[in-house]
Amino acid sequence: MVKEDLLKFDGRPLFPERKAYTVEYELSDGEADLYQRVTEYVRDEFNRAEKLANDGRKGTVGFALTVLQRRLASSPEAIYQSLRRRRERLEKRCREEELLKRGAEVRIDWHKDVPSLSEDDLEDLEDAPDEEVENTEDRVVDLASAAQTIAELKAEIAILKDLEQVALRVRQSRTDRKWDELSSLLQNQTEMFDAHGHRRKLIVFTEHRDTLNYLHDRIGSLIGKPESVVTIHGGMGREERKKNESLFTQDKDTEVLIATDAAGEGINLQRAHLMVNYDLPWNPNRLEQRFGRIHRIGQTEVCHCWNLVASKTREGDVYRRLLEKLEEERKALGGKVFDILGKLLFGDKPLRHLLMEAIRYGDRPEVRAKLNQVVDNALDRDKLRDLIEEHALAHDSMDASRVREIREDMERAEARRLQPHFVAAFFNESFKRLGGTLREREPKRYEATHVPAVIRNRDRIIGMRDPVLTRYERLTFEKELISVPGKPLAEFICPGHPLLDATIDLILERHRDLLRQGAILVDENSMDEDVRALVYLEHSIQDARTDRSGNRRVVSRQVQFAEVTASGDVRGAGYAPYLDYRPPTESELALIRHMEEPGWLRDEIESRALDYAVRNLVPSHLQEVKSRKEQMADKTMAAVKERLTTEISYWDHRAEQLKQQELAGKVNAKINSGKARQRADELTMRLQKRMEDLQQERRISPLPPNVIGGALIVPAGLLMRLNGGQPATVQAKETKRVEMVAMRAVIAAEQGLGFEPRDVAADKCGYDIESRDPAGESRLRFIEVKGRVQGVDTVTVTKNEILTALNKPDQFILAIVQVNGEQAVDITYVREPFGREPDFGVTSVNYRLSELLSRGGPPR
């Protein structure tokens, strides 16, 4: 299926709609004259290049002329600067040849200055990174010439001087009809502004650095805020590029991003949903990539794209026909047509061949008719349907049981997640302690008006991703709040985000010793009288790959917990047991200090916890990671092997075919057998290397667990005895009895409703029962059971239980069971029982039983 067919589990589309518009403009008289003159020069030089015996040089000259034509269509600034640089470089080369005292008719050797580009090289360049394309263009476009003698070179330089003067006059006139259309869009297009009249963020794509700089100045002047316009291009360093990307996505005052195709692939720009193709690429794949920068997962707005096309120009007429036909098919097939633009072939040739044919022969009516027919055939509806099916994201489908299994795993993970509440509570408190300023602007969406230097400096030391900014327009800890209609897109703060990583690193640096020293915590829900030791363990899983230092790469790291009892037993403590404990009060701490230290606390607690981890926690962690990684690696290996094996077979066959042609005396082939064989060998080596890398990813192994901290857990029952109260053992047994009666009653009620309940209380995951619908028609039910004897008027709920309920409000049920003797006399289900998370230091909350019961009802 393609992007437009993907759905969320609730049936809503995963991606929004895409719309594209063709904006035509007509050249002014001066621009039309310049266009005609440069096009004639390109056409004449192409004809001269066709006569060259060397195919590589012929391809190089053709490439240079193609770039020149594209810069002509880009902007007066781009064509003027290109003509000037080309004239200067050719004049320099002419002087060098004359210094060698060669005759006017002596042939010039261009091989030392200009690379030789075959047709295959040009095809590879179509999909090369933007920086590589720019570097090749700069090397070739200013110097590649079909001139073979000094006399021919001087004649070409004379033509370039005339063209340069014409371009200069157009440039100085400030007449630019293409800019006029963009200016009109920026000022008058409804979609450019929100309901309050504020300018929405916009991306403008161009192909050329000269045009990028030109637009930066003009757009900045037009909107009156030059600082609100940023750029991204292939010549930028990584840090500057990431900085501008972050400014565009996070700074509300940065409104326009102007980019070459350096931003067309590999980065996400869904902060905006508006895009202008100021220059249309001659490779439709780049058109697809550009649109994909804003049409991403997380985008909630309809994506709009305006394509600027010059009418009454040869290549413009072809592109206009293509865009008209594309819009026609979009109405029939939907936005999925944008996903296969890079797969289109125009008469078994790439689009650039078609456009160049229009430039060279487009003045002939029969050629124009043929080109229109080629475009129509390429966008034939049946062919498009075949391409959509052929290049779908996934052909395989999962049966209903597998989909259900994945959905249930996701629901469990969401119920137990640290995000958003635990992460938000930690970050908000830590950020303020480090000197940061955070203000809530919308519910659970914040503005960080000041990120302190200590955090930014730490990121410069440990950061490997985007840099930490000095401010953030919006932050959120909840995925569903990243994009809110009519509000700025929020940065999602989660583990792995540089702002959170730097904050964690600073807090750990300042307080790591406290973790090792340990703590004393109180378990309010336990009436036992024996203390326990809670041990914090860190465990990592590695694969066989190595980093730059030669160390094997860690692919998963978990903090795990084990509790050691007075009897020497060790048990798992759940994924976040500390959330159910609280610090002791001063009076409780005094009681604990006067308590005689149990001797077992000195009996190798760490080694016992480590032994338990090795036998129980490590295997489950290893199995979880190994299963996931092996499945992913196997699927990738199959896909890579299929793709590269097909390519290797093609080039093997092609090499043998070319070898036979060469033996028959056909030595002027565009690619020789040696080069084809080299390509096949390179692909074979690539396949072998990729298979080795993937095999290393499959070789998963555990590292030994480490103890990173611990705590002494004092049960409330012990404190009660130390304070002179009645023995807690009787109360503990009574509490346990009531809980068991309540659990049996709720399990029976769930079975009576047709569900399959499962007791998960021992897992300490924030609820006691997980109940599933055997038919798979409804989601999992997470049920926390509270048994109460008649006459009790409060219910105590732990922070862990409250946050689990807030994580899955539609699926969490608080089951209150009133118990009389051995019988459950009443069961009440309360849905969405809690309105907000407890404050940072709160471990449990007491609720009035009558108030909860009034909001509940019978099991259903």
C-alpha distance from residue 100 to each of 49, 86, 104, 107 (Å): 25, 22, 11, 12
C-alpha distance from residue 523 to each of 533, 534, 578, 714, 798 (Å): 12, 11, 9, 6, 10
* Mean pLDDT lowest among 86-95, 288-297, 566-575, 778-787: 288-297
> What is the C-alpha to C-alpha distance for residues 610 and 604, in angstroms, rounded to an integer?
10
For 55, counting Cβ atoms within 10 Å of its Cβ (0-12 exposed, 13-18 middle, 19+ buried), the class is middle
pLDDT tens for each residue of 421-460: 778 888 999 999 999 999 999 999 999 999 999 999 998 8
pLDDT tens for each residue of 340-391: 777 777 877 788 888 888 888 878 888 888 888 888 888 888 888 877 776 5
- Smallest CA-to-CA distance from 719 within 477, 528, 492 is with 528
The whole-number average pLDDT for the span 260-270 is 68
Locate 445 and state its tokens: 């969406």
CB atoms under 10 Å from CB of 387, counted, come to 19
- Could you tell me the pLDDT band of residue 512, with boundaries at 50, 70 and 90? confident
Decide the pairing of beta strands 256-259 and 274-277. Answer: unpaired
pLDDT tens for each residue of 220-249: 999 999 999 999 988 888 788 888 888 888
Q: What is the pTM of this model?
A: 0.60
CB atoms under 10 Å from CB of 306, counted, come to 21
- Smallest CA-to-CA distance from 816 within 843, 844, 842, 850 is with 850
pLDDT tens for each residue of 170-227: 999 999 999 999 999 999 999 999 888 889 999 999 999 999 999 999 999 999 999 9
In the DSSP assignment, the letter for residue 585 is P
Tell me the three-class secondary structure of 355-421, residue by residue. Answer: HHHHHHHCCCHHHHHHHHHHHHHHCCHHHHHHHHHHCCCCCCCCCHHHHHHHHHHHHHHHHHCCCCH
C-alpha distance from residue 433 to each of 419, 428, 496, 500, 513 (Å): 21, 9, 21, 14, 18
- Could you tell me the pLDDT band of residue 625, with boundaries at 50, 70 and 90? very high
> What is the C-alpha to C-alpha distance for residues 113 and 147, in angstroms, rounded to an integer?
14
pLDDT given at position 668: 44
Mean of all residue pLDDT scores within the chain:
85
Higher pLDDT, 257 or 141: 257
* Mean pLDDT lowest among 410-414, 699-703, 719-723, 737-741: 410-414
- Do residues 305 and 203 make contact, with C-beta atoms less than 8 angstroms apart? no
pLDDT given at position 487: 84
pLDDT score of 266 more than 60: no
- Helix residue spans in 496-585 (DSSP H): 498-517
What values do phi and psi take at 531, rounded to 5?
-70, 160
CB atoms under 10 Å from CB of 806, counted, come to 17
pLDDT tens for each residue of 668-695: 445 678 888 888 898 899 899 999 999 9
For 732, counting Cβ atoms within 10 Å of its Cβ (0-12 exposed, 13-18 middle, 19+ buried), the class is middle
Q: Which domains does the chain have, with CATH numbers?
A: 3-23+176-390 (3.40.50.300), 29-173 (no CATH), 409-508 (no CATH), 518-718 (no CATH), 727-854 (3.40.1350.10)
3-state secondary structure of 624: helix
Residue for token pair 């039983």: 849
The whole-number average pLDDT for the span 263-291 is 81
Question: Taking the mean position of all CA atoms in its chain, how far away is CA 754?
Answer: 41
Express as a percent the part of the chain with pLDDT over 90.
Answer: 41
pLDDT given at position 717: 87
* Mean pLDDT lowest among 92-96, 146-150, 332-336, 449-453: 332-336
pLDDT given at position 167: 95
Q: Which residues contact 768 (CB under 8 A, 6 or more apart)?
A: 743, 746, 759, 760, 761, 783, 784, 785
> What is the C-alpha to C-alpha distance for residues 612 and 573, in angstroms, rounded to an integer?
12
pLDDT given at position 50: 82
- Could you tell me the pLDDT band of residue 395, with boundaries at 50, 70 and 90? very low
Express as a percent the part of the chain with pLDDT over 70.
Answer: 90
pLDDT given at position 495: 85
The whole-number average pLDDT for the span 611-640 is 90
3-state secondary structure of 750: helix
- Do residues 156 and 147 make contact, with C-beta atoms less than 8 angstroms apart? yes
pLDDT given at position 264: 53
pLDDT tens for each residue of 24-83: 999 999 999 999 999 999 999 888 888 776 656 777 888 888 889 999 999 999 999 999
pLDDT given at position 224: 92
C-alpha distance from residue 293 to each of 106, 182, 203, 576, 580 (Å): 52, 20, 10, 38, 44
pLDDT given at position 238: 76
> What is the C-alpha to C-alpha distance for residues 703 and 714, in angstroms, rounded to an integer?
32
pLDDT given at position 472: 94
> What is the C-alpha to C-alpha distance for residues 397 and 416, in angstroms, rounded to an integer?
28
pLDDT score of 310 more than 90: yes
pLDDT given at position 232: 92
The whole-number average pLDDT for the span 581-600 is 88
Higher pLDDT, 306 or 777: 306
pLDDT given at position 394: 47
pLDDT given at position 73: 93
Whether residue 420 is preceded by a cis peptide bond, meaning omega within 30 degrees of 0, is yes
Locate 143 and state its tokens: 């110097």
- Smallest CA-to-CA distance from 186 within 270, 263, 258, 256 is with 256
- Helix residue spans in 203-277 (DSSP H): 209-223, 238-250
pLDDT given at position 766: 87
Highest mean pLDDT pick, 272-281, 297-306, 399-408, 633-642: 272-281
Helix pair 150-173, 29-50: axis angle to 10 deg: 160
For 96, counting Cβ atoms within 10 Å of its Cβ (0-12 exposed, 13-18 middle, 19+ buried), the class is exposed
pLDDT given at position 5: 66
pLDDT score of 263 more than 70: no
- Helix residue spans in 449-593 (DSSP H): 453-462, 498-517, 586-593
Q: CA angle, 191 as apex, 185 and 193 as ends, to 5°?
A: 90
